[in-house]
Amino acid sequence: MNYELLIAFVGATAALAISPGPDNIYVLTQSITNGRKYGLATVAGLISGCIVHTTLLAFGISAIIKQNDKIFFSIKLFGAAYLFYLAYQVFKSDARLDLSEDGVPKKRLTQLFRQGFIMNVLNPKVTIFFLAFFPGFLFSQDMSTVVQFYVLGVLFMLVSAIVFSLIAVLASMISEYIRKNGKVGIYLKWLQIIVFVGIAAYLLLSNK
């Protein structure tokens, strides 16, 4: 078992979770507007949705890996290309973080959990991202690929839940710091670009 690969996966996941995106910005605005427990309910919904994407990936891609090495290599090329595309999209985007509280209505905890879950499950970009991200971090020659994908999925959910929960708990402090320090958005933007490009390069250079 390659523990260094798992540590690299955890580090990349943490960097991506910290980088600004629709999910963590949504958690932040819910926490600022409605309170930390509402932000945490949103986090629980978003993270729970990852179980569905992990299951689709584990059983679908595992079957492909067993059948054809060339197809799996093509998947890795697609994954690298998609990650380069994401890096380019981030590069083109505005580095300023919009933390406007307008249009964030008060909702019940169950509503926020359900909305977070549905947002995640019905977002095809999450499935594509998992497909691009996970295959390069298979960490064992002996363990079933299905089990490995679930291990990676659990690690992804755990790390993301910790980061998102910290965002929810420290919402007011984080938002105030971001508003006062305009360069934060630029730093986070380049962190995200570096992570995307780094993972893409790793996928291209790694063996199965």
The pLDDT tens digits for 138-193 are 889 889 889 999 999 999 999 999 999 999 988 877 777 766 776 777 777 787 78
Asked if residue 99 has pLDDT above 60, the reply is: no
Q: Is 164 left (phi over 0), alpha (psi -120 to 50) or beta?
A: alpha
pLDDT tens digits for range 103-127: 555 678 898 899 889 988 887 778 8
pLDDT tens digits for range 45-72: 999 999 999 998 888 876 776 667 777 7
What does pTM read for this prediction?
Answer: 0.80
Give pLDDT, residue 36: 87
Q: Which one is predicted more confidently, 125 or 194?
A: 194
- Contact (Cβ atoms closer than 8 angstroms) between residue 127 and residue 53: yes
CA dist 127 and 56 (Å) reads: 8
Domain count, the chain: 1
CB-based burial label for 67 (10 Å; 0-12, 13-18, 19+): exposed
pLDDT-derived band at 135 (thresholds 50, 70, 90) equals confident
Give pLDDT, residue 62: 66
What range does the domain containing 19 cover? Answer: 3-205
Give pLDDT, residue 182: 67
CA dist 23 and 44 (Å) reads: 12
Q: How far is CA 187 from CA 58, 71, 166, 182, 191, in A?
A: 34, 37, 19, 10, 6
Handedness of CA 202, 204, 207, 208 (dihedral sign): positive
- Contact (Cβ atoms closer than 8 angstroms) between residue 83 and residue 200: yes
